[in-house]
């Protein structure tokens, strides 16, 4: 299920059957103006043989238990962090509101007397 689906080598497109034809007959100007002989391009690396199929992942009851415990721990930790961030935001908002009320009462008091 988790292994990649690679087409077998006989079904892979070849340059003759490819939808995109390679460019031929295009020459590029050299990058430098020095007059040295062009070097021979290195041969391309050989293509590896077809990949060996890997066995599917086998989950034992013990590994399932460890995965479930790890997932539960992650959910609890992330939930705790998010709730604490929300609580910090709520406390900050409440303290700013209290400061605004106190400042408003201090600034309006001289006008009442």
pLDDT tens figures, 4-16? 777 666 666 665 6
* Vertex 88: Cα angle to 82 and 92 (nearest 5): 150
Label residue 65 by pLDDT band (50, 70, 90). very high
**DSSP-assigned states of every residue in 44-102:** PPPPPPPPPPPPPP---HHHHHHHHHHHHHHHHHHHHHHHHHHHHHHHHHHHHHHHHHH
Label residue 93 by pLDDT band (50, 70, 90). very high
Whether the pTM exceeds 0.85: the reply is no
Q: Closest by alpha carbon to 4, among 73, 56, 59, 39?
A: 56
- For residue 28 the two structure tokens come to 């590029």
């Amino acid at each position: 299920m988790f292994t990649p689906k690679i087409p077998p080598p006989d079904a892979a497109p070849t340059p003759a059957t490819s939808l995109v034809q390679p460019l031929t007959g295009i020459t590029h100007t050299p990058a430098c103006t020095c007059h040295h002989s062009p070097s021979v391009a290195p041969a391309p690396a050989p293509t590896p043989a077809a990949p060996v199929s890997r066995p599917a992942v086998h989950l034992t009851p013990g590994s399932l238990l460890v995965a479930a415990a790890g997932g539960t721990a992650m959910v609890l930790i992330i939930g705790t962090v998010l709730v604490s961030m929300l609580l910090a935001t709520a406390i900050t908002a409440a303290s700013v509101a209290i400061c605004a009320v106190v400042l408003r009462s201090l600034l309006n008091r001289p006008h009442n007397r």
